[in-house]
Amino acid sequence: MEFVSEKIIDAIIEELEDLADEQYEQRMEAFAEAQPVLFAWLFSEQFDLLSDDEKGYLQYLALIAWQSIVRVNGAVEAVSEEQIGDAEEQNFEILEASAEKKFRDRLNPFFENTDQEDLLAFAEEAVLESDDDPESFVTKEGREPIFIALKTMIDVLAQ
């Protein structure tokens, strides 16, 4: 899998910001068609503890990550429930193994063995910007599941 750069990620974000609602929905539908299991997982009850704003944000971030990966690497084979489950379990194990107090520091081990550092940094920034922004809707409780979901998604799509 080719490296997805910050430049590509930023270009996707800019494109999405310029879309009309209908065009945005078409992108989400394309994502759902290309990755039905992954898409269903992102909308599953597993994420019920997130607020509606956080769920929408996760889905938006997932669309950015998917489109970035496809832009660089072309269509990616649809992933399975088993692939998602295995990757998610590994990611939670890595997070729980960290003895660090600060959430940002607990994410450091994820950067040690990744080929997609910019995508991972995108996920990290997305959940940590709330520290600096009082209007951010990512809660402290929402950081972990959103980051793990994005990391899991990157893992299964970049295999």
Summarize the chain as % helix, strand, coil (round to 5): 75, 0, 25
What is the CB neighbour count within 10 angstroms for residue 80?
Answer: 12
- When pLDDT is cut at 50, 70 and 90, the band that residue 158 belongs to is confident
pLDDT band at 159 (very low <50, low <70, confident <90, very high): confident
Question: What is the spatial distance between Cα 68 and Cα 42, in angstroms, rounded to a whole number?
Answer: 17
User: Considering the domain boundaries, does residue 78 fall inside one?
Assistant: yes
Contact 134, 20 (CB under 8 A): no
Is the predicted pLDDT of residue 136 greater than 70, yes or no?
Answer: yes
79 falls within a domain? yes
Q: State how far the Cα of 153 lies from the Cα of 7, in Å rounded to an integer.
A: 20
Is 129 a residue whose pLDDT tops 90? no
Q: Work out the pLDDT band at 13, boundaries 50, 70, 90.
A: very high
Which residue in 147, 144, 103 sits closest to 124, CA to CA? 147
Cα–Cα distance for residue pair 70/144, rounded to 1 Å = 25
Total number of domains in the chain: 1
Read off the amino acid at residue 69. I
Give me the phi and psi of 113, to 5 degrees please: -125, 40
pLDDT tens column, 34-70: 999 999 999 999 999 999 999 999 999 999 999 999 9
The number of C-alpha atoms within 13 Å of 127 and in the hemisphere containing its C-beta is: 26
**What pLDDT score does 144 carry?**
94
62-120 pLDDT, tens digit each = 999 999 999 999 999 999 999 999 999 999 999 999 889 999 999 999 999 899 999 99
How far, CA to CA in Å, does 143 sit from each of 92, 93, 120?
13, 16, 14
Query: Would residue 31 count as lying in a domain?
Result: yes
> What range does the domain containing 49 cover?
6-157
Task: For residue 135, tell me if it sits in a domain.
Answer: yes
φ, ψ (nearest 5 deg) of residue 119: -65, -40
| Entry pTM | 0.94
User: Does 1 reside within a domain?
Assistant: no
